[in-house]
Amino acid sequence: MNNTRPPQDNKFVPRKGKRVFMHRKVCRFCADKNLQIDFKDSRMLRSFITERGKILSARITGTCAKHQRCLTAAIKQARNMALLPVTAGHALLD
């Protein structure tokens, strides 16, 4: 077996000179109960897709698993209805 990684004990060793403290991201839909996930609300959904039209991962946006599932479904419904672009290549330019 070609395992080149040096043996490590179970301590977290931060990279040299880099100690990044991240604020824990909070799910936007858990924080604000009035905020509904709706496929018709394309403006809200746009903040959860990239410029190319891909769905942003929950890891990036901080959305919880439950709401990420709803969000994914809503974005796909919006794509079907031509409310959101599927790819940037076919998107109409403003």
- Write out the H or E segment, with its range, that includes residue 72: helix 65-80
Q: Is 79 a residue that touches another protein (CB under 8 A)?
A: yes
Nearest to 66, CA basis, from 34, 28, 92, 9: 28
Distance of CA 23 to the CA centre of its chain: 16
Q: Is 61 a residue that touches another protein (CB under 8 A)?
A: no
Shortest distance in whole angstroms from residue 69 CB to another protein: 15
Shortest distance in whole angstroms from residue 63 CB to another protein: 21
* From 39, 58, 63, 68, residue interacting with another protein (rule: CB under 8 A): 39
